[in-house]
Amino acid sequence: MNKKTTACGALAAFTDEIASNKLNLNLDENDIEMSMLKKQIIKKSGLSVDPKNAPDLLQVTMAAYKTITMDLERHARHDAEKFKDRRYALFTGIQIHGPEGSDYCWLGKASLLVKGQLTQLVLAPDMSSL
């Protein structure tokens, strides 16, 4: 794919901010979610903010994925403390925009949260068609 899609534009802009030494970590009231996410990504992932060692888009995307996954698990655990009988199936991944409007999904992690215990799920391919 030769050009960046609008869907990954925010992470691409974040990558460019780091590379050009123009990283803005101030709260943008017009984009609160991305303002907070940038701070969390740097804090939780240890992503380099040094323009001489600037991460590429893949590194920023993976750092965002890991940060969002940690936050999702934390929120689910917090909710499970209040609602002990609930079960949570958590699936995280990355949507990949390919050429000519094609989309793909990389499944990063699948887990089940029951009674405060987070267990990794192993997903097997559908073998019925073989």
Domains of the chain, residue spans: 9-120
Question: What digits encode the pLDDT tens for the residues 99-111?
Answer: 898 999 999 999 9
User: How far apart are alpha carbons 113 and 93 in whole angstroms?
Assistant: 17
Residue with tokens 């199936």: 89
**Backbone φ/ψ region at 56: left (φ over 0), alpha (ψ -120 to 50), beta:** beta
Q: Quick one: pLDDT band at residue 123, thresholds 50, 70, 90?
A: confident
Return the higher-pLDDT residue of 39 and 3. 39
Q: What is the pTM of this model?
A: 0.83
β-bridge partners, 87: 114
Give, in order, the Cα–Cα distances in Å from 96 to each of 17, 61, 68, 82, 104.
Answer: 22, 10, 16, 35, 5
Does pLDDT of 1 surpass 50?
no
